[in-house]
């Protein structure tokens, strides 16, 4: 009888929002989950009630030595890695002509360079036949005024996904990304507090509602599973049809609210 090993999945940015929902979805599917986050205490809290077979780790995705050390620690604790999910991200709001370059670099460093480092060291660590999923955004394909750094980084991540899929396919490793629309999380909550922003999002979403973190996590779980064994280099749009319309003008709403 062939015994299928228990999958071990690393969830970077797993302490809140979509990452946290993904941790719970994977644990429920029988994965041993290594939760990594800049906030190690929050990473540990993400495992409350899930059992001692899981682990929590601190990582700064902008620090290559920290990302490399993360995967080494997961290997030491769990013996192997079969799945990697990267949900780390930050954003800011500024027009192109007024954008502070340091702030621009901060967003790109987390959302794109950090994703590259997770793919690099995750790809080195993964078992052949494993899978990686990155969290990109509706803004990868739909530009938003005031989101130049975030849009550029997330669009770059789509291309990074495709190149990684090309290069790692020989080892049977699948590399995909998921692209959510409006999901209320700690990252998006400040924008949702600006009058008119949520209504504008929903008016431009054919299904007429925002998404839930668990809905994104379910697709990530699928992409890590054997059911998705012939899917690679793909970006899955999960946005209620928002990509069919227009992106809200966040700058206009900010100006109306605060002058």
> pLDDT of the chain along its 259 residues, tens only?
444 689 999 999 999 999 999 999 999 999 999 999 999 999 999 999 999 999 999 999 999 999 999 999 999 999 999 999 999 999 999 999 999 999 999 999 999 999 999 999 999 999 999 999 999 999 999 999 999 999 999 999 999 999 999 999 999 999 999 999 999 888 788 888 888 889 999 999 999 999 999 999 999 999 999 999 999 999 999 999 999 999 998 888 888 888 7
Asked, for residue 177, whether it belongs to a domain, the answer is yes
Asked, for residue 180, whether it belongs to a domain, the answer is yes
Q: In what order do the strands lie in the sheet with 131-135?
A: 55-58, 32-37, 8-12, 83-86, 131-135, 174-180, 235-238
Residue 1 pLDDT: 45
Residue range of the domain that includes 133? 8-258
Asked, for residue 1, whether it belongs to a domain, the answer is no
CATH code of the domain covering residue 25: 3.40.50.720
Asked, for residue 71, whether it belongs to a domain, the answer is yes
Asked, for residue 242, whether it belongs to a domain, the answer is yes
Marked catalytic residue, from 150, 161, 200, 235? 150
Asked, for residue 2, whether it belongs to a domain, the answer is no
Residue 87 pLDDT: 97
H helix runs in 110-247, sequence order: 114-125, 148-168, 189-192, 197-203, 213-224
Residue 4 pLDDT: 64
Specify the number of domains making up the chain: 1
Q: Does the annotation count 201 as an active-site position?
A: no
Q: For residue 117, how far is the Cα from the chain centroid?
A: 13
User: Backbone phi, then psi, for 257, in 5-degree steps?
Assistant: -80, -35
Q: What is the DSSP secondary-structure string of 218-242?
A: HHHHHHHSGGGTT--S-EEEESTTG
Asked, for residue 191, whether it belongs to a domain, the answer is yes
* Separation in Å, CA 83 to CA 97, 115, 233: 40, 15, 15
């Amino acid at each position: 009888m062939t015994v299928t090993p228990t999958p071990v999945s690393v969830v970077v940015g797993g302490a809140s929002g979509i990452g946290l929902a993904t941790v719970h979805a994977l644990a429920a599917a029988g994965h041993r989950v290594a939760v990594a986050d800049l906030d190690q205490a929050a990473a540990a809290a993400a495992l409350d009630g899930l059992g001692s077979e899981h682990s929590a780790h601190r990582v700064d995705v902008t620090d290559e030595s920290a990302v490399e050390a993360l995967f080494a620690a997961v290997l030491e604790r769990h013996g192997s890695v079969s799945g990697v999910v990267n949900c780390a991200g930050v954003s800011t709001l500024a027009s192109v002509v007024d954008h502070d370059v340091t702030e621009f670099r901060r967003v790109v460093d987390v959302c794109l360079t950090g994703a590259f480092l997770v793919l690099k060291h995750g790809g080195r660590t993964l078992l052949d036949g494993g899978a990686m999923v990155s969290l990109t955004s509706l803004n990868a394909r739909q530009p938003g005024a005031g989101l130049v750094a975030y849009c550029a980084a997330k669009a770059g991540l789509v291309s990074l996904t495709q190149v990684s899929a090309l290069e790692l396919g020989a080892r049977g490793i699948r590399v995909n990304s998921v692209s959510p629309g409006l999901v209320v999380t700690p990252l998006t909550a400040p924008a949702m507090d600006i009058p008119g922003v949520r209504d504008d999002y929903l008016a431009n979403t054919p299904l007429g509602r925002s998404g839930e973190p668990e809905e994104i996590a379910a697709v990530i779980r699928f992409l890590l599973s054997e059911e998705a064994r012939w899917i690679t280099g793909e970006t899955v749009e999960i946005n209620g049809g928002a990509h069919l319309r227009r992106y809200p003008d966040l700058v206009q709403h900010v100006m109306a609210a605060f002058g």
